[in-house]
């Protein structure tokens, strides 16, 4: 386990982890996300590549979709929690909607576009959460081809 890994007691990261675990229990890729507006979860989601044959429903995208149509002002007052470092697509969605802060469960199994987010002024915090790391390590070990498909590799 990495030196800086932690367990989380943040209820929003725990909600994102619960989404990742729900995805795993459906046979899916265990990545979850929640969109939090002024201290309240307004969208929850998890990766649905396997469950729905989806090329675009990553955890973050699913949370944004489930939050529904929202005015710009809601996004700019929100925080996105995700169990895994956001890929280029999810990063782009964060930039489109000008979500100012992203809390990332871990970036050890996959490092997304955190540098681009920070370059555009998004605050990115990475927890290196033990449960998030374990979920992805085990999934990638057991299903490397599925994981590669999800990240276009």
Judged by the rule CB under 8 A, the positions of this chain that interact with a copy of itself are 49, 53-56, 61, 64-65, 67-72, 75, 87-93, 95-98, 113, 148-149, 151-153
One of 19, 21, 26, 60 is an active-site residue; which one?
A: 60
Q: Say if CB 77 and CB 38 are below 8 A apart.
A: yes
Report DSSP state, residue 6.
Answer: B
Q: How far apart are CA 43 and CA 64, in angstroms?
A: 6
Q: Decide if 65 is catalytic.
A: no
C-alpha distances out from residue 1 to 19, 34, 40, 52, 88, Å: 23, 25, 32, 33, 27
Q: C-beta of 60: minimal distance to a copy of itself in Å? A: 10
- Our CB check for a copy of itself shows the closer of 13 and 64 to be 64
Q: By C-beta, is 3 or 153 nearer to a copy of itself?
A: 153
Q: Which residues are catalytic?
A: 60
């Amino acid at each position: 386990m990495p030196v800086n890994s932690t367990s989380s007691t943040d209820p929003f990261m725990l909600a994102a982890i619960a989404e990742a675990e729900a995805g795993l229990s459906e046979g899916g890729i265990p990545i979850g996300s929640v969109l939090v507006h002024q201290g309240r979860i307004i969208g929850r989601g998890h990766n649905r590549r396997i469950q729905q044959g989806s090329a675009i429903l990553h955890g973050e995208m699913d949370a944004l979709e489930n939050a529904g149509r929202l005015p710009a002002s809601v996004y700019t007052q929100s925080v996105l929690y995700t169990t895994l470092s956001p890929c280029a697509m999810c990063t782009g969605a964060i930039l489109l909607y000008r979500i100012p802060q992203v809390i990332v469960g871990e970036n050890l199994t996959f490092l997304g576009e955190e540098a681009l987010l920070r370059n555009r002024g998004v605050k990115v915090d990475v927890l290196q959460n033990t449960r998030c790391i374990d979920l992805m390590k085990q999934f990638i070990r057991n299903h490397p081809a599925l994981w590669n498909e999800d990240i276009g590799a």
